[in-house]
Structure 1
């Protein structure tokens, strides 16, 4: 059905029944719920209670009754869940899983923009950022809601941090605003080869290229659809087309295969698969070990004033997104 690194549905189906049972026992013991990002391994997505993109997981985390949230994602996702759930335990199965882009902005860049534009500047922070960077900002966004939120902000000038590619995409969609770009990027999306994408398009001329806005401008120019991971999945599920080139981290193939099962749809990725080493480090064994030991607890890494400021950016994101 799909061109994957071993068949995502098959890998998920191979999770032993005893492993699933053990996870259910541990969840009950810890009053835990498992959240997983679309980019983690199929086996992890298959045992999670909820799977989604960054916006969905951030919004969902505030609504769950369980006292322990196990976040199968990278560090900034665990930090966001903790900021929104101060009284709960948030665990990361792989605490070393980081997002390089989350660190790619300096305080000097933000201070310089504020000095230049004053009150008519909004610092808009992609959720893929550290707790400290969020605390320097005015509002968070995700790739699902960045265009909507930037369009609705009262300020004319917007410093978009840390991702220049998503920022450029937002600027093109909201030309009435002055969007200032920061020199950061997702190394995984930045590395996707334009030549390899064009080779795929030539080999599969009927296939629609679905790209994440963290990709470069040249890659996005080749795409028939641009959207978040959730948007890409939804587009493929509803589309009448039968072939798709998936231009984002290939962990998303599991959900694509699952949602489109029985539709005869085929999915392709570039010859050099767009993988994320950090997401790939979040394994089923580490998830079980985390539940058993309670390891990987996320703590507030900044002082209380900064933590409150960071939390406000997430709260504002949820408020704007709900309008």
Structure 2
């Protein structure tokens, strides 16, 4: 897209937001031009909370499908739009609600903790949701002798299990296609080339990647760490969309994206997040469609698990 078309679309989106009393929530992994038209930019937890309190008739979620579902769960009275309903999530898709219900039935008496990166159907089967920001706090809020099912990310679950020392956690075997693909060999090469750089890693990465990190945390946590650290260089081991916000906040610092194992596949970009564009945002606001519509019984069950997460102090 050329700059002129991008500017015109951005202006049109701004007009439509004012005309329709709409706000745009965007995730850090969307493209820089999408982030630029957002009213609120954040990670899953921040956007979940923001969706609950935002003053608007229409919420357009510039992100993947489960995020827009979460906004609708928390804001049933508002119209929630998703500009590209085909923008799914490999992690959410790795945990089918029907299969998860059968898995859950094998472990009666377990408290179910599910990552927010799940479908509304899985959230409805969950006792308490979590994000990468608060997964440790959520699991620690559950009595140590209470067995837990953790879904769907095996890497985040293993990381939390290691931090807590809990032996009574059962992990669902799911993963994110982006965070699974980082190369340890190439990361170690980058460390040798940039010896002063701090390595910041998302906990959805494999354990052998997490082990070489200077900091492990959510997208929001990584951003905050880069701001408070004295380091001037950072090797960033998460989805590359976060680099735009890093450069905006800390222009004096250098951010080096860690490469995937197969650099021809572009695997440190989430292909789903990149499906959200200014064109489909504009069309979505003009048509007020596609809209997220949920079964109310499922929505209420999912809402309970999300509110249980938000209420963890």
TM-score range with shorter-chain normalisation? over 0.9
Shift of 1:15: 7.7
Match of 2:256 in 1: 268
1:158·1:177 contact (CA, 8 Å) conserved in 2? no
Match of 2:60 in 1: 70
Match of 2:305 in 1: 313
* Larger CA deviation: 305-314 vs 233-242: 305-314
1:295 paired to 2:289:
yes
Alignment TM-score, normalising by the size of structure 1: 0.89
Structure 2 distance, partners of 1:126, 1:245, is: 25
Q: Secondary structure at 1:305's aligned position in 2?
A: helix
Please list every run of 5 or more consecutive structure 1 residues that lacks an aligned counterpart in the other structure.
1-10
2:9·2:279 contact (CA, 8 Å) conserved in 1? no
| Runs of 4+ with >4 A deviation | 11-17
Shift of 1:89: 0.5
Q: Secondary structure at 1:180's aligned position in 2?
A: strand
Q: Output aligned runs, 1:53-202, within 5 Å.
A: 53-105=43-95, 106=99, 107-114=101-108, 118=109, 121-154=110-143, 156-176=146-166, 178-202=168-192
Structure 2 distance, partners of 1:260, 1:178, is: 41
1:35 paired to 2:25:
yes
Number of aligned residues: 302
Please list every run of 5 or more consecutive structure 2 residues that lacks an aligned counterpart in the other structure.
none
* Larger CA deviation: 14-23 vs 283-292: 14-23
* Larger CA deviation: 103-112 vs 46-55: 103-112
Structure 1 residues 240-279: Cα deviation after superposition (integer angstroms, max 9, x where no partner): 0011000000000011001102x2x111113435110000
Structure 1 residues 40-85: Cα deviation after superposition (integer angstroms, max 9, x where no partner): 0000001111100000000010101101001000000000000000
Structure 1 distance, partners of 2:148, 2:59, is: 33
Q: Secondary structure at 1:241's aligned position in 2?
A: coil
2:179·2:206 contact (CA, 8 Å) conserved in 1? yes
Q: Structure 1 84/245 Cα, relative in aligned 2: closer, same or farther at 3 Å?
A: same
1:279 paired to 2:273:
yes
Structure 1 distance, partners of 2:230, 2:243, is: 18
RMSD: 1.8
Structure 1 distance, partners of 2:130, 2:149, is: 12
Structure 2 distance, partners of 1:180, 1:315, is: 23
Structure 2 distance, partners of 1:145, 1:289, is: 35
Q: Structure 1 57/12 Cα, relative in aligned 2: closer, same or farther at 3 Å?
A: farther
Match of 2:243 in 1: 253
Q: Secondary structure at 2:178's aligned position in 1?
A: helix
Structure 2 distance, partners of 1:248, 1:266, is: 15
Shift of 1:176: 4.5
Match of 1:233 in 2: 223
Alignment TM-score, normalising by the size of structure 2: 0.92
- 2:9 is matched with which residue: 16, 19, 39? 19
1:12·1:46 contact (CA, 8 Å) conserved in 2? no
Structure 1 distance, partners of 2:4, 2:185, is: 35
Match of 2:202 in 1: 212
Structure 2 distance, partners of 1:13, 1:209, is: 34
